[in-house]
Each structure stands twice: as C-alpha cells, then as structure tokens.
Amino acid sequence: MKRTFTIIALLSLLIPAMTKAQYAISDTIRTERIVVKSAQFGISLQNNLDTYLSNYNYKGAGIHFNHENFRDARTGNYRWKYQVLFNSRIGYNLQESNMQLAGIIGCSWSGYHPFRIGKRVQLLAGAQIQLEGGALYNPSNSNNPVSAKLRTALAASGMAIYRFPVFKDEWTARYQLDIPIIGVMFAPEFGQSYYEISLGHTKGIVSCAYPINSPSWRHMLSLDIPLHIKQRNTTLRLSYIADLYQSNINHIRCHMYHHAFTFGFVKTIFKIKRENNLKAYSPY
C-alpha cells in the first residue's frame, strides 16, 4: 500500500512537468507558420501641388495610420515572404489664407524571395501591386474644388533586414524601398471638369504611368524594440515613412510629398503544430 502511494505521488509530479515541456520556448520553429501583424499611428508632414486645382504648393500636417501583415511561406522547394500593407492619411494644408484638405488610402500586396547574408543580415527582392485612391479638396475653388486620385501600379520592391544584439535582447532594423514601374491612373485634362466626365466625355481620362511621366517611390525605415511588460514579450515598432509621388500627365503637374513618423506594436501569431516550439519576438 505504501509503495502504491509512493508511485502515485511520483506520477502526479512528473505528468505536469512532461506536459509543460511540450510547450517550451526556444529559437527554433518552422518559419512558414509565423504571421507578424503591426498597427501604427503617427503624425505626418505634407507638401501637395496639383495644377488642376491651383499653381501653389500647399503645406501642412496630418494623421497617418499604417497596418502591415508579414508572413513566411514555403512554395515548392523555395522559401518566400509575403506582405500586405495598408496605409491611410488625412491632412490639413495651407497656402497663405487658402485651405486644402487631403485624404489618401492605399494598399499593396508584395511577394519576396530572401537572400541571407550571415546570421544577422537578410536581403529581400520581389514585386508589388499597388492600389491607391483619395482626393484633394480646395473649398476656395468655385469651378473645380476637388481633384480625385486613383491609380494602380506594378512596382519593384526590396528590403534589407538587420538583427543586432542590444544588452540581452535582439533588435531588428528594416529598410524597404518601393518603386512603381508601370501602371494606370485617373488623369483628366486641364479644364476638363468632372461634370463633363459625368455626361460621358471620358476620352483620355485614363493614362499610362511609368517612371518618365510619374517618377515616384516610397521609403520605409523601422526599428523593432523588444519590451518586457508583465512577463510578456511585446515589441515596439518605430517607423519613418516617406511616400513621394509625382506626375506630369495631360498638361497637369502633381506632386504629393508625405513624411510620416509613427509608432505602434507588433503582434506575432504562431500557426504551429503541437510538436513545434515557439520563437520569441520577430521571425525576421
């Protein structure tokens, strides 16, 4: 009886330990099962010119929101990384006593092939599909107060990711460059009002955009900093985004220079099987 009691007591101690060991945290995981989501808010500085509305530059500030979904995936025998990026901004701009409101929403889908250099540096090269829409509004204009913005493009995209130790943690710095190569955009001619377009005068309102008549690019620089809050692994992301758009189509010059400084948090979702282990912080 005493021996039976001793065996039961030992089993009651071993079973929880064995169960806990199945979920031990380590640095190994099948990376194609990791999804990284981030949400960021910040302020932006804007400089807009659209000769459809006015020949003056409008400068001001606004609010920027950015959401990213970044994941690894395995396709055949090759490893790929995919990104879905959503951003929106609202701005209030001035030119002397004249006011301009700006609102832009954009989304992009990207696919990359990684090239690892050593243990800490990773380069990614791929393609991106961009879709963007919005409007500039000048209430002081009587005839054409609104300039609509709608474009889509195929862009070349690349990233450089660097992981480096800081004290006992590992920080991640990332730089991303997107350059539109070819696309189409809504571009009415100078003096062609939206009222005329609504009546069916739509000839020439859709134009091809390429680096000669629409040289544009986007820079994104981010830093991921691990935080230890209440024994939880939380990652803070600080970013600088420069979205520089230009066009000279149908005798209308336009530029929208946007500089945003944002902060937010990163959430890592582990799509794992039971036998796999977890990985802390960023899967980059």
Task: Indicate the pLDDT class of residue 272, thresholds 50, 70 and 90.
Answer: low
In tens, the pLDDT along 58-83 reads 999 999 999 999 987 766 555 788 99
Average pLDDT estimate for 204-210 = 92
Task: Indicate the pLDDT class of residue 233, thresholds 50, 70 and 90.
Answer: low
> Residue 237: how many CB atoms within 10 A of its CB?
21
Buried b (16+ CB within 10 A) or exposed e, 249-258: beebebbbbb
Mean pLDDT (the chain, rounded)? 83
Helix (H, G, I), strand (E, B) or coil at 94: strand
Average pLDDT estimate for 226-252 = 87
In tens, the pLDDT along 124-173 reads 999 999 999 999 999 888 778 999 999 999 999 999 999 999 988 889 99
Q: In angstroms, rounded to a whole number, what is the distance separating the alpha carbons of residues 172 and 158?
A: 16
> Residue 46: how many CB atoms within 10 A of its CB?
24
User: Considering the entire predicted model, what is its pTM?
Assistant: 0.81
